[in-house]
Amino acid sequence: MIRDSGQRLVITSIIVAIAFIFIVRLFYIQVVKEEYKMSASNNVLRYITDYPARGLIYDRKGKLIVYNDAVYDLMIVPKLVKNIDTLEFCSLIGISKEDFLDKYDKAKKFSPVKSSIFEKQLSGETYAALQEKLYKFQGFFVQPRTLRKYPYNAAAHLLGYIGEVSERTVEKNPYYKSGDYIGISGIEKSYENDLRGKRGLRIIMVDVFNREKGSYEDGKYDSIAIAGKDLTLSLDAELQFYGENLMQNKLGSVVAIEPSSGEILAMVSSPAYNPNLLVGRVRSKNYGTLLSDPLKPLFNRAMMAYYPPGSTFKLVNALVAQQEGFITPASRFPCSFHVGSKSVKCHPHPSPADLKMAVQYSCNPYFCHTFRNFVDNKKFKSSEEGYEKWVEYVNSFGIGRKLNVDIPNELTGLVPSPEYYDRYHGKGRWKASTIFSLGIGQGELGITPLQMANIMSIIANRGFYFVPHIVKKVGGEKHLPDNFTKKNYTKVNAKYFDSIIEGMDAVVEGGTARIAKLKDIKVCGKTGTAQNPHGKDHSLFVAFAPKDNPKIAIAVMVENAGFGATWAAPIASLMIEKYLTDSVSRPELETRIMEGNLIPLIDASKEKKSIN
């Protein structure tokens, strides 16, 4: 009996020990050793992110200008990749064996058991060829997503582009995960939260041959992707496309705004680029090429370039002087202005001129006298105090500060502070005659083309503007935040604008911009020739039309092109006519502008010009 009891005890102990070993091993595999659990799960279940369709973008007339095209990311779980025909696989997706090994190592370093992108953005054709044989390549699967397409090949700077999120973005924003796309520039960036939508998740069962067998638990744990919201822009796609054609082979920009609303109708920066170049697998290569181009096609000159406004600024100078009572429409000055040995030159015209005639013939001495009358006026304790008041007025026109448009990377422009001149000349050692060039839009003044167009909106509205903006609707709903519907008033009373508008009318009817005259449309404009210390002067023209009930305000800057009437004024008048009549009555002028090539005239090594 004792021996039998001992045997039973031994046998029982052995069974308990074996059971304990199995229990411990199972616990280790299922709980402690996470990769075994993940490997088993990946053999049965596949977690697929459903990327939402990004919101579509339409122009003001309902034309589709940005849509989505299907592409496919090839995913990998390195732990599951076994015994595949590497050469056949590489041939199917168009990569070398070296690329395969490099991508495999990177994926394994990221995680041997978690899925990651092996090859981005396979085309529909490549996906179709691969899908037939995907069962041969265990550890790989395909995840669909979309890329942007631009049927008009236009408005690249305004629309912007998307790209993969950075690690820093992933760390700062919990919504994003590695491999996600995000708006990098333009409205793709500023309206990212509306356009991106919401990710979904599908859990799919697969067999040992990497073939999908249906949804896990009939989709009980799946979540649906929610598409991004569509945007309707104020942009006129046809006008934008036309403007880019007019500016082809030229450096500069065109900005057109509807004065009554602040809606941006066109924003051209030249040279431009085809936005489709920054889409898909070729984006990195094309971006590098565009970035190294000495003409800087990625640079948005409409919002990020400062230019001296030249004679176009005389309008603002005259308005602020009228408000303070330092000049009136009847004020006349001799057509000469001298500072020491320096004298300001002028165009031939009757002298002395009143305000309307001074605007019509762009009389430099008149506006130098006007500036001096303001800054050195005895009403102020000092020229510095007078200048501070002048700057305050100028700032109210949206110059020297941001307008806060809904497009990123807007710059402020430059209106020098009194402190700037104190540092340069010494405190109390400067006055109007020291900085008189500001009165005719030269010197240290810097204004963006967007600000120039907005000044035209102000004059068209006789003293106020709406913040320029590009988006009209988000998801079908009107998108007009309070800052876009509020009237922003300058410090100049409406009654002082009449004489300026009459002068601008005379500029086109019989002054320096007769080339901008249209048969049945009253155009009010002002030419400018902005001095450029780095090369030939810039050609500038600003305008609005029609004179009564204005529908469009425009600014055109053509770099290194000489007089404003030579290039900028014709471009502006063609744009105005195209927008208001949807036709062109001067085909010979259109041909001259479109065929004009100013790029060879520019020394690329000195391409900085007046851009800061």
**What percent of the chain lies above the pLDDT cut of 70?**
92
pLDDT of residue 105 exceeding 90, the answer is yes
Each residue's pLDDT tens digit, 447-461 = 999 999 999 999 999
* pLDDT above 90 for 409: yes
Whether 90 and 96 have beta carbons less than 8 Å apart is answered as: yes
Q: What is the pLDDT of residue 605?
A: 38
pLDDT category at 104 given cuts 50, 70, 90 is: very high
pLDDT of amino acid 548: 94
| Length of the chain, in residues | 612
Architecture of domain 237-289+300-606: 3-Layer(aba) Sandwich (3.40)
Question: What is the C-alpha separation between 314 and 230, in angstroms, rounded?
Answer: 42
Q: What is the SS3 assignment for 588? A: helix
Q: If pLDDT is split at 50, 70 and 90, which confidence band does 42 have?
A: low
Residue 604 pLDDT: 43
Do 565 and 515 contact (CB within 8 A), yes or no?
Answer: yes
Domain segments of the chain as ranges: 49-72+143-160+187-229, 90-108+116-132, 237-289+300-606
Tell me the average pLDDT across 149-158. Answer: 94
Q: Is the CB of residue 113 less than 8 Å from the CB of residue 42?
A: yes
Confidence of residue 34 (pLDDT cuts 50, 70, 90): very low
Residue 534 has pLDDT above 80, yes or no: no
Specify the higher pLDDT residue, 575 or 535.
Answer: 575
pLDDT tens across 159-206, in order?
A: 999 988 988 999 999 889 888 889 999 999 999 999 999 988 888 887
Whether residue 294 has a cis bond before it, omega within 30° of 0: no
Which residue's structure tokens are 């790989």? 140
The highest-confidence range among 80-94, 109-123, 252-266, by mean pLDDT, is 252-266
pLDDT at 440 (0 to 100): 93
Report which of residues 385 and 41 the model is more confident about: 385
Cβ contact 545:580 at 8 Å: yes
* Candidate from 24-33, 91-100, 541-550, 576-585 with smallest mean pLDDT: 24-33
Which residue shows structure tokens 């839009």? 441
User: Residue 82, class by beta-carbon neighbours within 10 Å (0-12 exposed, 13-18 middle, 19+ buried)?
Assistant: exposed
Q: What is the mean pLDDT of residues 354-365?
A: 94
Instruction: Inform me whether the pLDDT recorded for 20 exceeds 50.
Output: yes
Residue 267, H or E segment: strand 263-270
The predicted-structure confidence for 570-606, as pLDDT tens digits, reads as follows: 999 999 999 999 999 999 999 999 999 998 655 443 4
Task: Encode 559-577: b = buried (16+ Cβ within 10 Å), e = exposed.
Answer: bbbbbbbbbbbbbbbbbbb
Distance CA 50, CA 219 (A): 13
Write b or e for each residue in 484-501: b if 16 or more Cβ atoms lie within 10 A of its Cβ, otherwise e. Answer: beeebebbbeeebbebbb
Distances (CA, A) of 227 to 51, 52, 195, 359: 9, 5, 8, 53
Pick the residue with more confidence: 177 or 297?
Answer: 297
* Other beta carbons within 10 Å of 302: 27
Q: Which long-range contacts (CB under 8 A, 24 or more apart) does 481-489 make?
A: 483/404, 484/262, 484/406, 488/398, 488/464, 489/396, 489/463, 489/464
Q: What's the token pair of residue 532?
A: 């450029």
- Please give the sequence-ordered ranges of beta strands (E in DSSP) within 96-244, or none if there are none: 116-122, 140-149, 162-164, 181-183, 200-206, 212-215, 231-233
Edge to edge, the sheet with strand 45-50 lists 45-50, 200-206, 212-215
Which pLDDT belongs to residue 507?
96
Three-state secondary structure along 434-455?
A: HCHHHHHCCCCCEECHHHHHHH
Mean pLDDT of 524-541: 85
> Where is mean pLDDT largest: 8-22, 36-50, 434-448?
434-448
CA-wise closest residue to 338 among 310, 368, 358, 363? 368
Q: Say if residues 240 and 268 touch (Cβ distance below 8 Å).
A: yes
Choose the weakest-confidence range: 106-115, 264-273, 499-508: 106-115
* Stretch 286-306: mean pLDDT: 94
Angle (CA) 273 452 157, round 5°: 20
Q: CA distances (Å), 425 to each of 239, 368, 369, 435, 462, in order?
A: 47, 20, 21, 10, 37
Among 81, 139, 148, smallest CA distance to 121 is for 148
* Helix intervals (H) in 345-426: 355-361, 364-375, 383-395, 418-425
Confidence of residue 351 (pLDDT cuts 50, 70, 90): confident
CATH topology for 49-72+143-160+187-229 is Penicillin-binding protein 2a (Domain 2) (3.90.1310)
**For residue 305, what pLDDT is reported?**
93
pLDDT single digits (tens) 481-529: 899 999 999 999 999 999 999 999 999 999 889 999 999 999 999 999 8
Q: Kindly state the DSSP code that residue 534 receives in the 8-state scheme.
A: T
298-334, pLDDT tens digit by residue?
999 999 998 999 999 999 999 999 999 999 999 999 8
Q: Report the alpha-carbon distance of residue 464 to residue 457 in Å, rounded.
A: 8
Lowest mean pLDDT among 57-66, 120-129, 465-474, 543-552: 120-129
pLDDT at 468 over 50: yes
Q: What is the pTM of this model?
A: 0.86
DSSP state of 512: T
Give the amino acid at 50: D
Which ranges constitute the DSSP H helices of 523-611? Answer: 568-581, 587-595
Integer Cα distance of 515 and 395 in angstroms: 32
The two structure tokens encoding residue 560:
């290194």
More confident residue, 6 or 235: 235
Three-state SS string over 142-164 comes to EEEEEEEECCCCCCHHHHCCEEE
- Give dist(CA 579, CA 238) in Å, integer: 9
Res. 2 pLDDT band, cuts 50 70 90 = very low
Distance CA(462)–CA(103), nearest Å, equals: 62
